Amino acid sequence: MCGAVRTAMVPRMSTAPDPARVHSAPVAFDPAFARALPVFAPGSVWLVGAGPGDPGLLTLQAAWGLSQADVVFFDALVNDAVLNFAAPAAELAFVGKRAGCPSPKQSEINARLIDAARAGKRVLRLKGGDPYVFGRGAEEAQGLVAAGVPFRVAPGVTAGVGGLAAAGIPVTHRDVNQSVTFLTAHDASGGLSARLDWAALSAGSPVLVVYMGFRLMRVIAEKLMEAGRPASEPAAIVAQATTPRQKVVRTTLGRLAAGEDAGGLEPPVLVVVGGVVALAPVLGVGGYAAPSDEAGG
Protein backbone atom coordinates (compact mmCIF):
# COMPACT_ATOMS: atom_id res chain seq x y z
CA MET A 1 0.00 0.00 0.00
CA CYS A 2 1.46 3.31 -1.03
CA GLY A 3 2.11 6.21 1.29
CA ALA A 4 -0.76 8.44 0.14
CA VAL A 5 -3.23 5.71 0.98
CA ARG A 6 -1.69 4.97 4.36
CA THR A 7 -1.67 8.65 5.27
CA ALA A 8 -5.32 8.99 4.29
CA MET A 9 -6.24 6.10 6.55
CA VAL A 10 -4.70 7.66 9.64
CA PRO A 11 -5.35 11.41 9.41
CA ARG A 12 -3.63 13.56 12.01
CA MET A 13 -3.25 17.23 12.75
CA SER A 14 -0.06 18.65 11.27
CA THR A 15 0.30 21.40 13.86
CA ALA A 16 2.98 21.12 16.50
CA PRO A 17 1.73 19.63 19.78
CA ASP A 18 2.05 21.26 23.16
CA PRO A 19 5.55 20.38 24.44
CA ALA A 20 4.16 20.12 27.96
CA ARG A 21 1.57 17.45 27.20
CA VAL A 22 2.03 14.15 28.99
CA HIS A 23 -1.13 12.03 28.94
CA SER A 24 -3.04 13.12 25.86
CA ALA A 25 -2.59 9.85 23.96
CA PRO A 26 -5.19 7.04 23.93
CA VAL A 27 -3.18 5.11 26.53
CA ALA A 28 -2.84 6.96 29.83
CA PHE A 29 0.20 6.18 31.94
CA ASP A 30 0.07 6.36 35.71
CA PRO A 31 2.29 9.32 36.72
CA ALA A 32 4.35 7.21 39.12
CA PHE A 33 4.93 4.60 36.43
CA ALA A 34 5.68 7.24 33.80
CA ARG A 35 8.47 8.63 35.97
CA ALA A 36 10.25 5.28 35.64
CA LEU A 37 10.19 5.50 31.84
CA PRO A 38 12.86 7.28 29.78
CA VAL A 39 12.53 10.99 29.13
CA PHE A 40 11.79 11.71 25.47
CA ALA A 41 13.77 14.91 25.08
CA PRO A 42 13.06 17.46 22.34
CA GLY A 43 15.71 17.27 19.64
CA SER A 44 16.17 13.51 19.97
CA VAL A 45 15.14 10.47 17.95
CA TRP A 46 13.74 7.16 19.16
CA LEU A 47 14.11 4.12 16.89
CA VAL A 48 11.16 1.99 17.96
CA GLY A 49 10.06 -1.54 17.11
CA ALA A 50 6.31 -1.91 16.53
CA GLY A 51 6.31 -5.69 16.85
CA PRO A 52 4.97 -8.22 14.35
CA GLY A 53 1.48 -6.75 13.89
CA ASP A 54 -0.78 -7.18 16.91
CA PRO A 55 -0.84 -3.82 18.74
CA GLY A 56 -1.07 -5.77 22.00
CA LEU A 57 2.54 -6.86 21.45
CA LEU A 58 3.79 -3.28 21.50
CA THR A 59 6.22 -2.73 24.37
CA LEU A 60 5.44 -0.26 27.14
CA GLN A 61 8.42 1.85 26.11
CA ALA A 62 7.16 1.95 22.52
CA ALA A 63 3.67 3.01 23.62
CA TRP A 64 5.17 5.65 25.88
CA GLY A 65 7.35 7.01 23.11
CA LEU A 66 4.38 7.21 20.75
CA SER A 67 2.40 9.12 23.36
CA GLN A 68 5.18 11.70 23.65
CA ALA A 69 6.37 12.07 20.04
CA ASP A 70 5.83 15.24 18.02
CA VAL A 71 6.36 13.44 14.72
CA VAL A 72 6.23 9.73 13.84
CA PHE A 73 7.95 8.41 10.72
CA PHE A 74 6.46 4.97 10.10
CA ASP A 75 7.06 2.03 7.78
CA ALA A 76 4.76 0.03 5.52
CA LEU A 77 4.63 -2.96 7.87
CA VAL A 78 3.33 -0.97 10.85
CA ASN A 79 -0.25 -1.87 11.80
CA ASP A 80 -2.57 1.15 11.57
CA ALA A 81 -3.86 0.30 15.06
CA VAL A 82 -0.38 0.91 16.47
CA LEU A 83 -0.44 4.45 15.09
CA ASN A 84 -3.46 5.16 17.26
CA PHE A 85 -1.14 5.13 20.27
CA ALA A 86 0.32 8.40 19.00
CA ALA A 87 -0.89 11.64 20.54
CA PRO A 88 -3.78 13.27 18.62
CA ALA A 89 -1.60 16.24 17.67
CA ALA A 90 1.35 14.15 16.48
CA GLU A 91 2.32 14.42 12.84
CA LEU A 92 2.39 11.05 11.06
CA ALA A 93 4.71 10.66 8.08
CA PHE A 94 4.76 7.51 5.95
CA VAL A 95 8.26 6.58 4.77
CA GLY A 96 7.70 2.91 3.97
CA LYS A 97 8.80 0.83 1.04
CA ARG A 98 6.40 -1.31 -0.99
CA ALA A 99 6.97 -3.06 -4.30
CA GLY A 100 5.43 -1.03 -7.11
CA CYS A 101 5.04 2.10 -5.00
CA PRO A 102 7.23 5.21 -4.96
CA SER A 103 9.44 5.10 -1.90
CA PRO A 104 12.04 7.38 -0.35
CA LYS A 105 15.72 6.53 -0.43
CA GLN A 106 17.35 5.62 2.86
CA SER A 107 19.47 8.76 2.70
CA GLU A 108 16.29 10.84 2.42
CA ILE A 109 14.76 9.17 5.47
CA ASN A 110 17.95 9.76 7.45
CA ALA A 111 17.91 13.44 6.46
CA ARG A 112 14.27 13.86 7.51
CA LEU A 113 14.97 12.35 10.93
CA ILE A 114 17.95 14.66 11.43
CA ASP A 115 16.12 17.77 10.22
CA ALA A 116 13.13 17.12 12.48
CA ALA A 117 15.36 16.56 15.51
CA ARG A 118 17.36 19.72 14.78
CA ALA A 119 14.04 21.59 14.66
CA GLY A 120 13.58 20.65 18.31
CA LYS A 121 11.01 17.92 17.80
CA ARG A 122 10.70 14.61 19.58
CA VAL A 123 11.10 12.28 16.62
CA LEU A 124 9.95 8.67 16.67
CA ARG A 125 11.00 6.30 13.89
CA LEU A 126 8.54 3.39 13.96
CA LYS A 127 9.51 0.11 12.32
CA GLY A 128 7.78 -3.24 12.07
CA GLY A 129 9.21 -5.92 14.33
CA ASP A 130 12.55 -4.89 15.82
CA PRO A 131 14.47 -1.95 14.33
CA TYR A 132 17.76 -3.83 14.26
CA VAL A 133 16.47 -7.06 12.65
CA PHE A 134 16.47 -6.60 8.85
CA GLY A 135 14.95 -3.16 9.38
CA ARG A 136 17.78 -0.75 8.46
CA GLY A 137 17.60 0.64 11.97
CA ALA A 138 21.35 0.41 12.39
CA GLU A 139 21.87 2.44 9.20
CA GLU A 140 19.63 5.16 10.58
CA ALA A 141 21.42 5.04 13.93
CA GLN A 142 24.75 5.49 12.15
CA GLY A 143 23.36 8.54 10.39
CA LEU A 144 22.19 10.02 13.68
CA VAL A 145 25.58 9.41 15.30
CA ALA A 146 27.36 11.09 12.39
CA ALA A 147 25.02 14.08 12.67
CA GLY A 148 25.44 14.34 16.44
CA VAL A 149 21.73 13.72 17.10
CA PRO A 150 20.96 11.89 20.38
CA PHE A 151 18.90 8.74 19.96
CA ARG A 152 17.48 5.75 21.83
CA VAL A 153 16.59 2.28 20.56
CA ALA A 154 13.39 0.67 21.85
CA PRO A 155 13.58 -3.00 20.80
CA GLY A 156 10.45 -4.73 19.53
CA VAL A 157 9.19 -8.29 19.16
CA THR A 158 10.64 -9.52 15.90
CA ALA A 159 8.30 -11.38 13.56
CA GLY A 160 10.67 -14.31 13.21
CA VAL A 161 10.09 -15.14 16.87
CA GLY A 162 6.73 -13.62 17.85
CA GLY A 163 5.05 -14.17 14.50
CA LEU A 164 6.02 -17.83 14.40
CA ALA A 165 4.97 -18.32 18.02
CA ALA A 166 1.52 -17.02 17.10
CA ALA A 167 1.42 -19.68 14.38
CA GLY A 168 2.25 -22.42 16.87
CA ILE A 169 5.83 -22.73 15.63
CA PRO A 170 8.55 -22.28 18.28
CA VAL A 171 11.89 -21.28 16.79
CA THR A 172 13.62 -23.63 19.23
CA HIS A 173 12.67 -26.85 20.97
CA ARG A 174 15.05 -28.91 23.06
CA ASP A 175 14.16 -32.12 21.24
CA VAL A 176 14.44 -30.61 17.77
CA ASN A 177 17.15 -27.95 17.45
CA GLN A 178 19.89 -26.19 19.37
CA SER A 179 20.33 -23.43 16.81
CA VAL A 180 18.29 -21.31 14.44
CA THR A 181 19.28 -19.02 11.57
CA PHE A 182 17.42 -15.86 10.57
CA LEU A 183 17.99 -14.59 7.06
CA THR A 184 16.67 -12.33 4.37
CA ALA A 185 17.28 -13.72 0.94
CA HIS A 186 17.19 -10.51 -1.08
CA ASP A 187 19.77 -7.81 -1.46
CA ALA A 188 19.31 -4.03 -1.61
CA SER A 189 18.03 -4.28 -5.19
CA GLY A 190 15.34 -6.80 -4.26
CA GLY A 191 17.02 -9.68 -6.09
CA LEU A 192 18.42 -12.87 -4.60
CA SER A 193 21.45 -12.11 -2.47
CA ALA A 194 24.74 -13.43 -3.81
CA ARG A 195 26.26 -13.23 -0.33
CA LEU A 196 24.38 -16.21 1.11
CA ASP A 197 26.30 -19.47 1.48
CA TRP A 198 23.58 -22.01 0.70
CA ALA A 199 25.80 -24.99 1.49
CA ALA A 200 26.55 -23.60 4.94
CA LEU A 201 22.90 -22.75 5.55
CA SER A 202 21.80 -26.20 4.46
CA ALA A 203 24.33 -28.10 6.54
CA GLY A 204 24.75 -25.80 9.50
CA SER A 205 21.31 -24.85 10.77
CA PRO A 206 18.43 -27.23 11.53
CA VAL A 207 15.88 -24.37 11.46
CA LEU A 208 15.85 -21.51 8.96
CA VAL A 209 13.57 -18.48 9.26
CA VAL A 210 13.35 -16.34 6.12
CA TYR A 211 12.16 -12.75 6.33
CA MET A 212 10.70 -10.96 3.30
CA GLY A 213 10.97 -14.11 1.22
CA PHE A 214 7.54 -14.15 -0.42
CA ARG A 215 8.65 -13.39 -3.98
CA LEU A 216 11.74 -15.59 -3.72
CA MET A 217 10.45 -18.59 -1.77
CA ARG A 218 10.61 -20.94 -4.76
CA VAL A 219 14.24 -20.17 -5.56
CA ILE A 220 15.13 -20.25 -1.85
CA ALA A 221 13.68 -23.76 -1.55
CA GLU A 222 15.48 -24.83 -4.74
CA LYS A 223 18.81 -23.50 -3.46
CA LEU A 224 18.40 -25.34 -0.15
CA MET A 225 17.55 -28.63 -1.85
CA GLU A 226 20.45 -28.26 -4.28
CA ALA A 227 22.66 -27.84 -1.20
CA GLY A 228 21.34 -31.03 0.39
CA ARG A 229 18.13 -30.32 2.32
CA PRO A 230 15.51 -33.04 1.65
CA ALA A 231 12.38 -32.19 -0.32
CA SER A 232 10.32 -33.85 2.42
CA GLU A 233 11.55 -31.48 5.14
CA PRO A 234 8.70 -29.70 6.97
CA ALA A 235 8.20 -26.06 6.04
CA ALA A 236 5.58 -23.40 6.67
CA ILE A 237 4.46 -20.09 5.25
CA VAL A 238 3.07 -17.61 7.79
CA ALA A 239 1.30 -14.59 6.34
CA GLN A 240 0.06 -11.49 8.21
CA ALA A 241 1.34 -12.94 11.50
CA THR A 242 -0.42 -12.00 14.78
CA THR A 243 -3.23 -10.17 12.97
CA PRO A 244 -6.84 -11.23 12.32
CA ARG A 245 -5.73 -12.00 8.74
CA GLN A 246 -3.04 -14.44 9.84
CA LYS A 247 -2.80 -17.53 7.68
CA VAL A 248 -0.51 -20.49 8.21
CA VAL A 249 0.26 -23.02 5.49
CA ARG A 250 2.17 -26.13 6.57
CA THR A 251 3.95 -27.72 3.66
CA THR A 252 7.31 -29.20 2.64
CA LEU A 253 10.46 -27.81 1.12
CA GLY A 254 9.73 -29.64 -2.13
CA ARG A 255 6.26 -28.13 -2.43
CA LEU A 256 7.69 -24.68 -1.76
CA ALA A 257 10.12 -25.18 -4.63
CA ALA A 258 7.22 -26.18 -6.87
CA GLY A 259 5.34 -23.01 -5.95
CA GLU A 260 2.23 -24.96 -5.03
CA ASP A 261 1.12 -23.41 -1.74
CA ALA A 262 1.46 -19.63 -1.91
CA GLY A 263 -1.82 -18.89 -3.65
CA GLY A 264 -4.03 -16.36 -1.89
CA LEU A 265 -1.33 -15.26 0.54
CA GLU A 266 -0.34 -11.64 0.96
CA PRO A 267 2.83 -10.22 2.52
CA PRO A 268 4.29 -9.73 4.99
CA VAL A 269 5.24 -13.38 4.89
CA LEU A 270 7.66 -15.51 6.89
CA VAL A 271 8.99 -18.82 5.62
CA VAL A 272 10.31 -21.35 8.11
CA VAL A 273 12.06 -24.62 7.31
CA GLY A 274 12.82 -27.31 9.87
CA GLY A 275 11.45 -29.85 12.29
CA VAL A 276 9.84 -27.28 14.59
CA VAL A 277 7.09 -26.85 11.97
CA ALA A 278 5.78 -30.30 12.94
CA LEU A 279 4.81 -28.88 16.35
CA ALA A 280 2.30 -26.44 14.84
CA PRO A 281 -0.75 -28.76 14.92
CA VAL A 282 -0.31 -29.18 18.68
CA LEU A 283 0.88 -25.70 19.66
CA GLY A 284 -1.15 -23.68 17.16
CA VAL A 285 -4.11 -23.57 19.55
CA GLY A 286 -2.31 -21.07 21.78
CA GLY A 287 -3.95 -17.71 21.40
CA TYR A 288 -4.41 -16.62 17.79
CA ALA A 289 -7.62 -17.72 16.08
CA ALA A 290 -6.29 -17.76 12.55
CA PRO A 291 -7.01 -20.12 9.65
CA SER A 292 -4.43 -22.82 9.08
CA ASP A 293 -4.05 -25.10 6.07
CA GLU A 294 -2.24 -28.38 5.61
CA ALA A 295 -0.80 -28.26 2.11
CA GLY A 296 -0.78 -31.20 -0.23
CA GLY A 297 -1.50 -34.75 0.63
Q: Of 157, 179, 208, which residue sits at a domain end?
A: 157
| Range list of β-strands (E), the chain | 45-49, 71-74, 91-94, 123-127, 151-154, 181-184, 208-211, 234-239, 247-252, 269-273, 292-294
CATH code, domain with 46: 3.40.1010.10
Q: According to the model, what pLDDT value does residue 145 have?
A: 99
H/E stretch holding 61 reads helix 60-68
Residue pair 235/296 in contact (Cβ under 8 Å)? The answer is no
Percent of the chain whose predicted confidence (pLDDT) is above 70? 86
The mean pLDDT value for 35-43 works out to 95
Q: Which domain holds residue 264?
A: 160-294
Closest by Cα among 216, 267, 211, 257 to 235: 257
In the predicted model, is pLDDT for residue 212 greater than 80?
A: yes
Give me the CATH number covering residue 209. Answer: 3.30.950.10
At residue 15, does pLDDT exceed 70? no
pLDDT at 292: 53
Do residue 11 and residue 149 come from a single domain?
A: yes
Indicate which residues carry an active-site annotation: 75, 97, 212
Compute CA 5 distance to the chain's CA centroid, rounded to the nearest angstrom: 20
The CA distance from 288 to 260, in Å, is 25
Let me know: does 170 contact 162? Beta carbons within 8 Å: no
End-to-end CA, the chain: 35
Q: Is the pLDDT of residue 249 over 80?
A: yes
The pLDDT tens digits of the residues spanning 151-193 come to 999 999 999 999 999 999 999 999 999 999 999 977 777 788 8
What is the predicted pLDDT for the residue at 32? Answer: 85
**11 versus 60: which is more confidently predicted?**
60
d(CA 256, CA 217): 7
Please tell me whether residue 148 adopts helix, strand or coil conformation.
coil
Mean pLDDT of the chain: 88
> Which of 131, 157, 183 is where one domain is finished?
157
What integer pLDDT is reported at residue 99 of this predicted model? Answer: 57
Number of structural domains the chain divides into: 2
Is residue 121's pLDDT more than 50? Answer: yes
